[in-house]
Amino acid sequence: MSLVTIILLLTLVAFLGWTAWRYYQVRKAAKFIDNAAFAELIHGGQLIDIREQNAYRTKHILGARNLPASQFNQSMSALRKDKPILLYDSSRSTSLPRVVLSLKKAGYTTIYVLKDGFDYWNGKVK
């Protein structure tokens, strides 16, 4: 094997390891729940839409606040630590793991995520 091949294999293994570790961290930090369970928790928690403002204005879950993922760390202080946080994004979110891990690092302990995202939400919208 050439040195280039070894370096590429090590890079691939490192990337796959990091991806698996991040997946594990996010799943440990938040509970991913289906539409029915999410709808039941809405009234007792803080419902947060982490999509960007344009998507939020177009359509969002009734009662949700918009804290875009791109500005989430600056807005996190608006959340209470004593109430559950219910997060949702579109179905294939790349920013959701970062938001979940930021919340966990800041000391939030009860975090729920809409498993399939807003694209598959079948509850009330505005």
Q: In this predicted model, what pLDDT tens digit does every residue of 63-116 receive, in sequence order?
A: 999 999 999 999 999 999 999 999 999 977 789 999 999 999 999 999 999 999
Domains, the chain, with CATH or none = 3-120 (3.40.250.10)
Between vectors from CA 46 to CA 43 and to CA 47, what angle results, nearest 5°? 85
The reported pTM is 0.88
What string of DSSP letters covers the chain?
A: --HHHHHHHHHHHHHHHHHHHHHHHHHHHSEEE-HHHHHHHGGGSEEEE-S-HHHHHH--BTT-EE--GGGHHHHGGGS-SSS-EEEE--TT-SSHHHHHHHHHHTT---EEEETT-GGG--S-B-
CA distance 60 to 100: 20
Tell me the percentage of the chain whose pLDDT exceeds 70: 100
